[in-house]
Amino acid sequence: MQEIKDIAIKLFGTNSPCRCGGEHEVCLNCHVCRATQPDMLWDESKPIAEYLDATVLKADAKETDIKALCEHAYANSCKAVCINSHYLPFAVTITKGKVGLCTVVNFPLGSNTNDAVLAEAEAVLAEELDELDMVQNLSALLSGYWEASYQGILEVRKACDDYDTLLKVIIETCFLSREQLIVSCLIAKKAGTDFVKTSTGMGSGGATTENIKLMRDIVGPKLGVKASGGVRTREDALAMLKAGASRIGTSNAKGIIEG
């Protein structure tokens, strides 16, 4: 079994020691260096709502569903609502800047061309958007073309820079081997993402504490790790946070907050 450092060196060559943590140990020459930035870790003294992305991404979501989601997130000071982009203009009338607005691109299959994903990202970034969750180019990654997957993330990162928008990269762990998961996290970190995220919630599996721990080990303390997919209860959420998550994506924010 290859160590994280060995995979990093294989991908990017030997380099100076990294200063931002993470078991890759060598500097990745990231698009965004985070060595001097604060850690993005769970603080158990804070309300759990501050770590929740209240989410509705189902195909049959209606305006009434989005209204209920946003009103609950607003009342409980959730970190963000994550919704399909069609509803962004409506959601902002409810969240009023108190709750972050997040949408998704290249979702859920991770199989669009990089040019198509960038165009989609640029279109939604023009809305009143705080955070963007993109699915990595999963088709490229699974076929061994990790450079194409990296370039896709990098171009979206640059677009997010123009709007000061936080970027999360969805790794879709259920389809990946351990080595592919390590590669995915390393290239996302190198491309400058703010978070790595476990799942779309539409794949064959969701977040596991084992994958959260591995992802945290890979990226170190300076990146966020988002657990998403199957996190339904307060017990589930706390297990993910204790394993290393610093954000939870859930369609049951109300149940988690109320315990």
Which are the catalytic amino acids? 133, 197, 226
Cα(59)–Cα(37) distance, integer angstroms: 38
Three-class DSSP category at 57? coil
Q: How far is CA 10 from the centre of its chain?
A: 25
Ramachandran category for residue 225: left, alpha or beta (phi over 0 → left; psi -120 to 50 → alpha)? beta
Cβ-count burial 81-102 (b if 16+ within 10 Å, e if not):
bbbbbebbeebbebbeeebbbb
Beta-carbon contacts of 129 under 8 Å, excluding residues fewer than 6 positions away, are 88, 101, 102, 103, 163, 165
